C-alpha cells in the first residue's frame, strides 16, 4: 500500500498536536489538513485563530476532543504589533482604512496607559468576529454591509507589556483570558492615546499548557512518514495540566470507565472539587468532579 493510500485510511488515534498555524490559513483549514495527513477519524481545535494570525493552534485527535473545552479555557499569551495612525474596518491589516491620525505616541506614553487595560476590563468586540448576533456570525453580517451594535464583554488581562516601540509601530505581549479580542485591545489602546491603530501582526505564543516550545510547523509534519507524525503527538492528558489530578488504581479506573463513581480513600483524598480529571498510570481516564469524597465522571476517556 502506498503512503498516499495509507493517509486516506481513517484511523482511531488520540492525542494533541501543538500546531504552529501559518499565516493566511484558517483554523478550519488547519484541522482539515492535519486530519487528512494523519488519516484521523476525528479531529478538532481548541480556540479559533484568525487566518492572518500565526502561532499555537492545539489540534485534538480522537479522545482528546473531549478535553477541548478545558484547553480553550486556559490562559492565552499573544504577541502583537500595533500600527499607529490608522483605524481599519476589521481592526487589522485586512480591512479598509476608516480613520487616520497624525498622532504618534511615545514609548513612555504607551507604557503609562497600559495599566488601564489590565485586570478585568470591558471590550467591544470587532464587528468582524465570530460572535453570533441573532443566530448569524457577526463577520457575515458585517461583510453584507449591516451596521452592528456589538455587545460589550468583560475579559481578564493578567499582563500587558511593551516589547519594542517605534513611532510607527509597537510590539506588545498580552497574557489574557478566553474571549479576549487582541484587535479590540489594540484599537482601544490607540484611542486612549489620542490616535488610531490596528493590529499589524498577531502571534499566539501559548494556549493553556501548550507553548511555542511544543509547536510543530506544517512543513515538518508533511516531510515525515506516518510513524514519525504519530511520534509528534502529545497524550490526551497533556491538555489537562491545569486541572487537579485524581490518581486511580486499576479497579477504580475500570469502575469509572463504566460511568460509575468511586470513593476516594487516603489521608489527602479531596472531599469536593468542581472540576478534576482521573488518571491511571498517567493516562487520562475521565473528566469529572469530586463530591462527598467520590469522583464522579462527566466524560469517560477511552483508552
Residues 6+ apart with CB under 8 A from 194: 101, 103, 105
Pairing between β-strand 197-207 and β-strand 76-84 as defined by DSSP bridges: antiparallel
Q: Give the count of beta carbons closer than 10 Å to the beta carbon of residue 92.
A: 24
Residue of 12, 24, 50, 158 marked catalytic:
50
Name the helix (H) or strand (E) containing 100: strand 97-100
How many other C-beta atoms can be found within 10 angstroms of the C-beta atom of residue 175? 18
Between CA 94 and CA 194 the distance in angstroms is 23
Q: What is the largest CA-CA distance in the chain?
A: 70
Catalytic residue list contains 91 = no
| CA-wise closest residue to 161 among 171, 153, 151, 169 | 171
Cell reading at 199: 493590529
Cell of 230: 504519530
Sign for the CA dihedral angle at 201, 53, 120, 173 comes to negative
Give the active site residues.
50
Amino acid at each position: 500500500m502506498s503512503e498516499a493510500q495509507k493517509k486516506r485510511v481513517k484511523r482511531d488515534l488520540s492525542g494533541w498536536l501543538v500546531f504552529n498555524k501559518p499565516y493566511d490559513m484558517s483554523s478550519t483549514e488547519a484541522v482539515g489538513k492535519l486530519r487528512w495527513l494523519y488519516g484521523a477519524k476525528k479531529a478538532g481545535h481548541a480556540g479559533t485563530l484568525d487566518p492572518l494570525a500565526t502561532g499555537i493552534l492545539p489540534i485534538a485527535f480522537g479522545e482528546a476532543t473531549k478535553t477541548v473545552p478545558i484547553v480553550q479555557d486556559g490562559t492565552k499569551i499573544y504577541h502583537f504589533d500595533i500600527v499607529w495612525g490608522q483605524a481599519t474596518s476589521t481592526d487589522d491589516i485586512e480591512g479598509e482604512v476608516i480613520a487616520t491620525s497624525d498622532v504618534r505616541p511615545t514609548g513612555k506614553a504607551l507604557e503609562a496607559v497600559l495599566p488601564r487595560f489590565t485586570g478585568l476590563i470591558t471590550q467591544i468586540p470587532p464587528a468582524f468576529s465570530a460572535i453570533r448576533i441573532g443566530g448569524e456570525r457577526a463577520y457575515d453580517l458585517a461583510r453584507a454591509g449591516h451596521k452592528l451594535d456589538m455587545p460589550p464583554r468583560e475579559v481578564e488581562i493578567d499582563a500587558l507589556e511593551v516589547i519594542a516601540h517605534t513611532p510607527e509601530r509597537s510590539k506588545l505581549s498580552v497574557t489574557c483570558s478566553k474571549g479576549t479580542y487582541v484587535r479590540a485591545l489594540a484599537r482601544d489602546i490607540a484611542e486612549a492615546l489620542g490616535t488610531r491603530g490596528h493590529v499589524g501582526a498577531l502571534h499566539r505564543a501559548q494556549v493553556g499548557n501548550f507553548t511555542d516550545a511544543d509547536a510543530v510547523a506544517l512543513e515538518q509534519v508533511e516531510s515525515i512518514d506516518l510513524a514519525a507524525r504519530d511520534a509528534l503527538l502529545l497524550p490526551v492528558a497533556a491538555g489537562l495540566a491545569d486541572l487537579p489530578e485524581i490518581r486511580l488504581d486499576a479497579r477504580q479506573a475500570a469502575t469509572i470507565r463504566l460511568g460509575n463513581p468511586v470513593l476516594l480513600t487516603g489521608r489527602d483524598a479531596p472531599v469536593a472539587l468542581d472540576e478534576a480529571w482521573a488518571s491511571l498510570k498517567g493516562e487520562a481516564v475521565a473528566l469529572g468532579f469530586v463530591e462527598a469524597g467520590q469522583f464522579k465522571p462527566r466524560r469517560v476517556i477511552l483508552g
